Amino acid sequence: MKKKPVIGIIPLWDEEKESVWMVPGYLDGIRDAGGIPMILPLVPHMEDIGQLDSMVDGYLFTGGHDVDPHMYGEEPLPVCGTCCHERDILEEKIYGIAKAEDKPVLGICRGIQLINVLQGGTLYQDLPQQFSGTKEIEHHMTAPYDRTVHEVQITEGTPLYTLLGQKTLPVNSYHHQGVHTVGKGLEVMAVSEDGLVEGVYVPDKKFIWGIQWHPEFIYQKDDTARKIFRAFVEACV
């Protein structure tokens, strides 16, 4: 039997319940694509990360808390949401290891934002207050999330274009922050209708992608979401 790749998934944190939790779509999307999802501990001992890394073949950086603005040299504004320092620390460490080892990374929502910051870029702390797009579109949709609310333009010649073979892609959208200045070493592969960067990748790595939309909510009915999960899992083999 062919060995399935194990995907380390960054957990989410609920402050009120003081509990780790997970959106099932992340796990199911990875499983449906042929991988084995493994939720990582939120606060492992730093000396344990190396051992955890030996158990996984790639990493999925999930959505969730806002990235701490101090990580990109800014003070938090009142419009900035709640941050989770434990996640920031864990993901920064894991991203450095994955990048050094050329292990695949897929960042979704917060994930693209974090990748951008760790590559030296900055974020809009709040799109409604700081971003003036070329047109008004919905970035923070209401439930249900398994539907599309705007489109992104896919840059020709990028891995996402090669994978999907289309110039536009309808997406769902649930975020209030976004990529401002693009980090060093990143290339843009998708831009929303209002000009916001919504897809990036690292060209000289096997697979480091960040996307702003949420395939975990829509993969059951959307083939492009399934293709993204499959491309990531296959890169982890």
Q: Note the pLDDT of residue 177.
A: 98
| Residue 160 resides in a domain | yes
Q: Is 216 a catalytic residue?
A: yes
The CATH number that applies at residue 72 is 3.40.50.880
Tokens describing residue 92: 């920064």
Percent with pLDDT over 90 in the chain = 93
pLDDT at 44: 77
> How confident is the model at residue 47, as a pLDDT?
85
CA proximity to 109, closest of 221, 195, 23? 23
The number of distinct structural domains making up the chain is 1
Average pLDDT over residues 92-100: 97
User: For residues 230 and 236, what is the distance between their CA atoms, to the nearest angstrom?
Assistant: 10
Residue 163's domain comprises: 6-235
Q: Give me the catalytic one of 91, 139, 214, 236.
A: 214
Note the pLDDT of residue 146.
97
Q: What residues have CB less than 8 Å from 179, skipping those under 6 apart?
A: 112, 113, 116, 121, 123, 124, 196, 197, 198, 200, 212
Confidence of residue 122 (pLDDT cuts 50, 70, 90): very high
1 belongs to a structural domain: no
Output the six-digit token pair for 234. Answer: 């296959």
In a domain, 63, yes or no: yes
The question of whether 176 is a catalytic residue gets the answer no
Q: Which of 139, 175, 198, 216 is catalytic?
A: 216
Q: Residue 14 falls within a domain, yes or no?
A: yes
| pTM of this structure | 0.97
Structure token pair of residue 16: 């009120």
Question: Is residue 83, in this structure, part of any structural domain at all?
Answer: yes
Point out the least confidently predicted range of 27-36, 42-51, 97-106, 153-162: 42-51
80 inside domain: yes
Catalytic member of 109, 139, 175, 236: 109
Burial 84-114 (b: 16+ CB within 10 A, else e): beebbebbeebbeebbeeebbbbbbbbbbbb
